């Protein structure tokens, strides 16, 4: 909320408070009439005609105020005029009910606290000044005999002429009025201060938020530029890397003549490094495609079994090199049908199997299993590898994450594989998660919805996409 908004709110609040003051005035009028009637029932001789005069005056004035306060723009002098007239009416009620001996003297205090809280800071001092003036004038006029003194309680008819009583009552009233003025004014001032500070804090927050949004926008633009840069650079790198790959392969396969052992070893190393570079470039290209929404899918309904068999076949030689037993258990064949993009799901699962091979030491074991469970097909890849440190597990699917333990082992990796896998599985409306114990092993799970209930999910998604396109 800005300062201007706060001021508008403050204006509305003030108007509400002024309207409330009209209601309170009606209430006080009623109480005065009722108490006067009650007291007269018990023998007090109030000057009822005078009280009626005061009350009528208050009623008439309140009617005018209720009209004035219902309008949008209230001229500033109205509340102040109200304050003076209220004090006058109170003084007249006090006069007609016994002057200095009136039971209605506390009305002065009520008026001070009420108006002070209701509108401005100035109201307090003005009230105090007007109240004490009216009160002093009244008792002086009565004392001097220029104004009739009414004696409500004939038991002590001369009480109003008793200076000890006058001093005690008058002094007490004035002191209480002063204290009330200060006390209620203090509360109002503190509240105003807090309100202003809150408004300032709010404005700072708004400004900070705007700055944050601008920075965020700029970051988005930079991120977009970075993605484009990676995409262009990767594309440009792919062609020469492919050329290098095929040249090295020809040399390695001795198409250009025999090589001695040293040459052969060097060429193989070069070929492997080049392959890693191609993998990295492919990962980077896939990530930028994902981020730009260009990772398109072509879904078909099929069994996951041939995809997994092919995957295992491709990885067999790596497993053999590391003397890792890589076992595949498809469970009950035929497996239920799932809807997949063959290449993408192959890539997604391959990243998990690659990791299992990479992060399982020599002689370890990897089991790939498939099992339908309720409305899903669960694929699990379990290894006896190094595991993922517990405190790093929440970050496993984020971009560029690599565990401390595998970095220490100086294994190769980009930290992009599982980010890509996670994205692919999500696009298949599936789930991917894992359980891992450092030093013992890791099990990754992929759940793909079976075709039967997939259709429903798909229909819903397609309908939504269609609706969005038509929008
Ligand atoms: P990388 O190219 O580093 O393998 P990934 O995104 O595929 O990137 O994996 C991210 C990180 O998750 C890995 O670097 C490794 O720390 C951890 N990780 C993934 N799979 C395994 C696993 N089977 N065993 C141990 N750590 C794993």
Atom of ligand 1 nearest to the CA of 414: 2
pLDDT for 452 equals: 73
Rg of the chain (C-alpha set): 45
Distance (angstroms) between ligand 1 centre and the Cα of 349 equals: 13
> Is 45 within 8 Å of 98 (Cβ atoms)?
no
3-state secondary structure of 338: strand
**Which residue owns the Cα nearest ligand 1 atom 19?**
355
| DSSP string for residues in 82-143 | HHHHHHHHHHHHHHHTTGGG-TTTTHHHHHHHHHHHHS-TTHHHHHHHHHHHHHHHHHHHHH
Atom of ligand 1 nearest to the CA of 406: 16
pLDDT for 456 equals: 46
pLDDT for 45 equals: 76
Summarize pLDDT for 44-64 with one digit per residue, the tens. 777 888 888 999 999 999 999
Q: Which residues of the chain have pLDDT under 50?
A: 454-459, 469-471
Beta-strand pair 338-340/300-302:
antiparallel
pTM for this entry: 0.58
pLDDT for 467 equals: 56
Please name the residue that has the structure tokens 């038991």: 155
pLDDT for 372 equals: 94
pLDDT for 242 equals: 93
Ligand 1 pocket at CB < 6 A: 351, 355-356, 359, 383, 385-388, 396, 401-403, 406, 413-419, 442
Atom of ligand 1 nearest to the CA of 418: 6
pLDDT for 461 equals: 53
Ligand 1 pocket mutation, candidates 318, 319, 359, criterion most atoms within 8 A of CB: 359
pLDDT for 322 equals: 93
| CB count in 10 Å sphere of residue 132 | 18
pLDDT for 217 equals: 95
- CATH 3.30.565.10 matches 300-470: yes
Ligand 1 pocket mutation, candidates 406, 407, 416, 420, criterion most atoms within 8 A of CB: 406
**Which residue owns the Cα nearest ligand 1 atom 13?**
402
> Is 79 within 8 Å of 15 (Cβ atoms)?
no
> Is 166 within 8 Å of 158 (Cβ atoms)?
no
């Amino acid at each position: 909320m800005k300062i201007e908004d706060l001021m508008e709110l403050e204006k509305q609040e003030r108007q509400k408070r002024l309207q409330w003051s009209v209601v309170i005035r009606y209430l006080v009028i009623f109480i005065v009439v009722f108490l006067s009637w009650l007291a007269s029932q018990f023998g007090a001789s109030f000057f009822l005609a005078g009280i009626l005069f005061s009350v009528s005056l208050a009623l008439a004035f309140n009617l005018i105020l209720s009209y004035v306060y219902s309008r949008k723009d209230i001229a500033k002098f109205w509340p102040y005029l109200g304050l003076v007239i209220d004090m006058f009416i109170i003084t007249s009620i006090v006069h007609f009910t016994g002057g200095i001996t009136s039971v209605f003297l506390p009305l002065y205090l009520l008026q001070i606290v009420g108006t002070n809280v209701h509108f401005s800071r100035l109201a307090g001092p003005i009230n105090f000044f007007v109240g004490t003036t009216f009160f002093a004038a009244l008792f002086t006029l009565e004392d001097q005999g220029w104004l009739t003194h009414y004696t409500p309680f004939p038991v002590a008819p001369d009480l109003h002429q008793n200076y000890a009583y006058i001093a005690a009552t008058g002094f007490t009233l004035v002191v209480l009025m002063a204290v009330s003025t200060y006390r209620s004014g203090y509360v109002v001032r503190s509240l105003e201060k807090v309100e202003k500070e809150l408004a300032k804090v709010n404005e700072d927050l708004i400004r900070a938020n705007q700055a944050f949004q601008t920075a965020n926008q700029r970051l988005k633009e930079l991120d977009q530029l970075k993605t484009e840069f990676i995409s262009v650079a990767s594309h440009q790198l792919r062609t020469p890397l492919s050329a290098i790959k095929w040249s090295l392969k020809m040399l390695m396969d001795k198409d250009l003549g025999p090589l001695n052992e040293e040459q052969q070893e060097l060429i193989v190393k070069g070929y492997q490094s080049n392959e890693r570079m191609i993998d990295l470039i492919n990962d980077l290209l896939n990530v930028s495609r994902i981020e730009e929404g260009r990772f398109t899918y072509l879904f078909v309904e099929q069994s996951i079994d041939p995809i997994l068999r092919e995957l295992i076949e491709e990885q067999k030689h790596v497993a053999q090199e590391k003397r890792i037993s890589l076992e595949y258990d498809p469970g009950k064949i035929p497996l239920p049908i799932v809807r997949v993009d063959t290449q993408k799901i192959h890539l997604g699962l391959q990243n998990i199997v690659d990791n299992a091979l990479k992060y399982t030491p020599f002689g370890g074991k990897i089991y790939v299993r498939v099992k339908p469970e309720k409305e899903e097909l669960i694929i699990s890849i379990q290894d006896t590898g190094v595991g993922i440190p517990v405190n790093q597990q929440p970050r496993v699917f984020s971009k560029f994450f690599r565990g401390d333990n595998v970095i220490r082992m100086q294994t190769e990796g980009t930290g992009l594989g599982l980010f890509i896998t996670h994205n692919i599985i999500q696009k298949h409306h599936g789930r991917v998660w894992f359980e891992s114990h450092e030093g013992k092993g890791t099990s990754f799970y992929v759940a793909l919805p079976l075709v039967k209930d997939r259709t429903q999910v798909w229909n819903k998604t397609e309908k939504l996409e269609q609706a969005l396109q038509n929008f």
